[in-house]
Structure 1
Amino acid sequence: MSNPVSVAFIDDHPILLEGLVSLYSGKPDLNIVGQGENAVDALKIVSDLDPDVVVVDLSMPGDAIAAIEILAHDYPRTRILVFTATSSIETAIHVLNLGVAGYVLKGCTAFDLHQAIKTVHAGGTFITPGFATKVIMSMKSAELRHKTERVTRLSTREEQIIRHLMRGSTNREIATSLDISEKTVKHYMTVLMQKLDARNRVEVVLAAQKLNMLSGPATGNGLQANLN
């Protein structure tokens, strides 16, 4: 039989905390090693006791989000499970991106929280059923928006470089004109080719024109992109 999962609970509601400890102390596959009531306690308990899983609330005293970020970065072995009444999708996505392994809403069953602890300890991710669908859909929508914005938006510097390409300027000429290094120009060229799915300088200009990505009137006498 495998060793029980060592767990610490952090919650600022004494009755709830006492109930969690009492309830799960009777589980043979769990070992409650610590309990606390604020963000500072969470950091100290994980640092001192090295639990397999730490179950934390988001509304406890102190900066819970900052504590989670520190725990995820400095103590990667300990899996973080958020147990909260906060049903904000944005908050859930934010802490998941910080490295939280599970997000369980208060009001769930004792069985769900038990399963969540075991799931995150095994390396998985657990989000309260029902709420999970909303979180996943929101994350997919955000990812799609991010990809679209990344593809269809040019920075001011990228526009400047494309305009120079339209005049047939070399990297050295662009660097001199914009007061940047040739290495920086080459970096921008790489970014532009990736962003516009282009293979060379001419295709960068053509793609930008096709997508109408340049703001304001173009200067110069049309496309004269230098291939060097």
Structure 2
Amino acid sequence: MITVLLADDHSIVRSGLKHIINSQSDMSVIDEAENGEVAVIKALDLKPDVVVMDLNMPKKSGLVATKQITEANQDIKIIILTMHENKEYLYRVLQAGASSYLLKSYNEDDLVDAIRTVHRGEAYLYPDATRLLLEDYMKRSNAAVEDNHAKLSGREQEILSYLAKGYTNKEIAEILYLSIKTIEAHKSKIMDKLDLKTRVDLVKFAMKNGYLDFE
């Protein structure tokens, strides 16, 4: 039986959530909290498997309550239930330690699925939240690659590509019609600019940032 603590400052909302949860054969509401402060006290005392927490509550917000609960007991999984479809809220909630960010506009089956999912130790996000996280990750990743490209001159990027592909300094010098000393100087600058220590670090960097496909 999955034990659940409900935390919401509206009694009618708690009543509806309680009905949904208790109608399931594998879960049960063991207590309720009308504000964030009480939610923290009851969660740490009763140690429910899951806390369904409203984001906006008096005395202590759901965000603060989540952070305090998860810092004290990581076994307690927290589902944030909110009206806010906002990327910044999403990030802050996940950073606070919540396992799920669920909109109140979604149906009761989503809540039930979320409870079972977080109880298994997995994260549960509504589809648009997953899309937001993936888009943000791609933007950050692309920005990091662009920043790395900007650190190097065109010639340095070219030499980095050859080095990562296993060419020796002599071979690169012959291909680019440069002296070996010039190649060595460029290599040294590349290592300094990217704060790399060894050739292995250089190869790893090149693989991560697409230099093996660099033309």
Shorter-chain-normalised TM-score: which range? 0.5 to 0.7
Q: Deviations over 1:19-52 (max 9, x none)?
A: 1112211211101111112110110111111000
Amino acid at match of 2:2: V
Bigger CA drift: 35-44 or 134-143? 134-143
| Residue 54 in structure 1 maps to residue 51 in structure 2 | yes
**Mind listing any 5+ residue stretches in structure 1 that lack a counterpart?**
154-192, 201-228
- The TM-score with structure 2 as length reference comes to 0.66
- Percent of aligned pairs with the same residue? 28
List structure 1 runs of 4+ shifted beyond 4 angstroms: 143-153
CA distance in 2, matches of 1:148, 1:105: 35
The aligned length equals: 160
| Residue 24 in structure 1 maps to residue 1 in structure 2 | no
CA distance in 2, matches of 1:56, 1:33: 14
Q: Describe how 1:165-204 pairs up with structure 2 within 5 A.
A: 196-199=194-197
User: What's the secondary structure of 1:82's corresponding residue?
Assistant: strand
Q: Could you tell me whether the CA contact under 8 Å between 1:151 and 1:195 is conserved in 2?
A: no
Among residues 4, 8, 12, which one is paired with 1:7 in the alignment? 4
Q: Describe how 1:50-199 pairs up with structure 2 within 5 A.
A: 50-61=47-58, 62-142=60-140, 145=143, 196-199=194-197
Structure ranking higher in helix proportion: 2
Q: In structure 2, what is the equivalent of residue 163 of structure 1? A: none
Amino acid at match of 2:111: L
- Call closer, same or farther: CA 1:147–1:53 in 2, change over 3 Å: farther
**Mind listing any 5+ residue stretches in structure 2 that lack a counterpart?**
152-190, 199-215
CA distance in 2, matches of 1:150, 1:13: 50
- Call closer, same or farther: CA 1:148–1:124 in 2, change over 3 Å: farther
CA distance in 1, matches of 2:25, 2:97: 28
* RMSD, aligned α-carbons: 2.7
- The TM-score with structure 1 as length reference comes to 0.62
CA distance in 1, matches of 2:138, 2:42: 35
What's the offset of the Cα at 1:194?
9.0
User: What's the secondary structure of 2:122's corresponding residue?
Assistant: coil
